[in-house]
Amino acid sequence: MSAANSFANMVSSKAEKINIPLAERLRPQTLGEVIGQQHLLGEGMPLRIAFESGQPHSCILWGPPGVGKTTIARLMASSFDAHFITISAVLGGVKEIREAVEQANVWQGQGGGSAKRTIVFVDEVHRFNKSQQDAFLPHVESGLFTFIGATTENPSFEVNSALLSRAVVYVLQPLQEADLKKIVAVAQKSRALGAIENIAPDAVDRLVAYADGDARRLLNTLESLGVAAQNFKSGQPPGEKITNVTDAWLIKVLGERMRRYDKGGEQFYDTISALHKSVRGSDPDAALYWFMRMLDGGAEPKYMARRLIRMASEDIGLADPRALRMALDAAEVYERLGSPEGELALAQCVVYLAVAPKSNAVYKAFNEAKAFIKQDATRPVPLHLRNAPTKLMKSLDYGKNYRYAHDEEGGFAAGENYFPEGMAAPAWYRPVNRGLEIKIADKLNELKSKNHQKN
């Protein structure tokens, strides 16, 4: 190869490396380089044991963005010396699943009994519909490949029960402040920030607060900072670069989005807590104040919409069922209009939730039922409540003596039992004396009276 060609290749390789995002360049290559998630990766913890066993297993990595889901999946592939296939549920579909199966079959056939394992990693698996998720089942069961799914949504609701039963769910947490500071130190040590040689402690604090537990967000911000420092000219002699990042310069370069996320003021979760408690306390002005503080501080309006939906269910519930619909409508309006127009709909929702009658009766009932189910045995469904679509089921008395409520007086089968045999009625749901729940309580008392009369 000529010297000219060698130099050209070197320049090309260097350019390619420069074009790779900082988050990808600094992605951990070994388990020891992973920062955070020690409740899973620390000594004696579940995922560490899985790595050390040398036996991959299908799993679902559930956690917010930028906490290491993709990194852990890739490390599994390298640790287990496995082929690694990535499918994005946002961009892919059945075609990509079929191609992954074909590729896994090829790899399995090439090595006979000593063939390398295959890991199929599905990012944003909750985006796949039921039939797409079902397409993995026979191949997971046959051992053709190990399935690893990553999701930011609760897999209990977003992943098919059949697929969920074949995978271990690992819950990843937002990175802690100390973890994020370690990542800043790693970025500086790697000399990946261009001209930047030092970041002042108060600037690091602001960067960490702004990242809000998301390593990718932190690294993307650092990358922007490095570019700005390399090319900053305002107030500097021609060609001089910024080597020391101060808090003031950080705000000047990255703008208002950084302003509220400082160690001296309220942090993100403190502010959302103040908003939630103002809504719960029925103070619309205070709720609006904290809502606007969050928007002004750079909070993502879509995140705010999700929190408002949660407030409608947790603190208002059936005292005013319209509150949940209002929150969902506000979220949809924001999706359609974006900022700033859609923010008015969110503000309208904030005021409505604040002035609505309050009830946490459903929230408390939900938690009590959840706790009971977790510690209770799996009780069989009573025969009279089972469906009987076949002759065999009917012969086994499925559905026998079931009373169809619509055929009963007042549309209510007084005295009927809908709990498993031997289980006492728990009375988890206790309506409060506010809003629509006043009428709900009256209705439940009336039905309870009819049950007593029948019994």
What is the CATH number for 182?
A: 1.10.8.60
pLDDT tens across 87-134, in order? Answer: 888 787 778 888 888 888 877 765 444 567 889 999 999 989 888 898
Residue 452 is predicted with a pLDDT of 87
Percent over 90 (pLDDT), the chain:
48
Q: Where are the beta strands (DSSP E) in 124-269?
A: 146-151, 168-171, 198-199, 244-245
Question: Taking 70 as the threshold, does the pLDDT of residue 373 lie above it?
Answer: yes
The parent domain of residue 234 ranges over 177-258
Q: Is residue 20 part of a domain?
A: no
Query: Residue 45 sits in a domain of what CATH number?
Result: 3.40.50.300
What's the predicted TM-score (pTM) here? Answer: 0.57
Number of domains in the chain: 4
Q: Does the residue 367 lie in any domain? A: no
Angle value at C-alpha 98, between 96 and 104, nearest 5 degrees: 105
Residues 183 and 249 in one domain: yes
41 and 142 both lie in a single domain: yes
**Same domain? 340 vs 393:** no
* Domain final position from 171, 205, 239: 171
Say yes or no: 331 and 390 in one domain.
no
pLDDT digits (tens, 9 = 90+) for 422-452: 998 899 999 999 999 999 999 999 999 988 8
pLDDT of residue 71: 95
Q: What is the pLDDT of residue 15?
A: 38
Parallel/antiparallel/unpaired status of strands 244-245 and 198-199: parallel
pLDDT in tens, 206-241: 898 888 889 999 999 999 888 888 766 544 444 556
- Whether 308 and 199 map to the same domain: the answer is no
Residue 197 has pLDDT above 90, yes or no: no
**Residue pLDDT, tens place only, 350-367:** 999 999 999 999 999 999
Average pLDDT score over the chain = 85
Question: Which run of H or E residues covers position 123?
Answer: strand 118-123
Same domain, residue pair 132 and 209? no
Asked whether residue 7 is assigned to any structural domain, the reply reads no
Shared-domain flag, residues 251 and 154? no
Q: Is the pLDDT of residue 403 over 50?
A: yes
Asked which of 151, 171, 191 is the last residue of a domain, the reply is 171
Looking up residue 275, the CATH number of its domain turns out to be 1.20.272.10
Higher pLDDT, 361 or 253: 361
Answer yes or no: is 201 within a domain: yes
User: Would residue 27 count as lying in a domain?
Assistant: no
Same domain for 212 and 181, yes or no, is: yes
153-156 long-range contacts, Cβ below 8 Å, gap at least 24? 153/62, 153/126, 154/62, 155/60, 155/62, 155/126
Summarize the confidence of residues 49-62 as an average pLDDT. Answer: 89
Q: Is residue 371 part of a domain?
A: no
DSSP 70-87: HHHHHHHHHHTT-EEEEE
CA distance 261 to 245: 16
* Residue 113 within any structural domain of the chain: yes
Top-confidence residue, 283 or 143: 283
CA angle at 373 for the pair 404 and 38, rounded to the nearest 5°:
145
Taking the C-alpha atoms of residue 395 and residue 388, their distance in angstroms, rounded to an integer, is 9
| Res. 291 pLDDT band, cuts 50 70 90 | very high
Q: At what angle do helices 322-337 and 341-355 cross, to 10 degrees?
A: 170
pLDDT digits (tens, 9 = 90+) for 157-193: 888 888 999 999 999 999 999 999 999 999 988 888 8
pLDDT band, very low/low/confident/very high, at 275 (cuts 50, 70, 90)? very high
- In this structure, is residue 123 part of a structural domain? yes
Burial status of residue 269 (CB atoms within 10 A of its CB: 0-12, 13-18, 19 or more) = exposed
pLDDT class of 4 with cuts at 50, 70, 90: very low
Tell me, yes or no, whether 46 and 161 share the same domain.
yes
Cα–Cα nearest to 355, from 325, 329, 319: 319
Nearest Cα residue to 419 out of 454, 379, 387, 448: 379
75, pLDDT greater than 90? yes
Q: What is the pLDDT of residue 13?
A: 41
The predicted structure's pLDDT at residue 2: 41
142 and 236 inside one domain: no
Q: Are residues 291 and 242 in the same domain?
A: no
Which residue among 171, 206, 222 closes a domain? Answer: 171
Residues 66 and 80 in one domain: yes
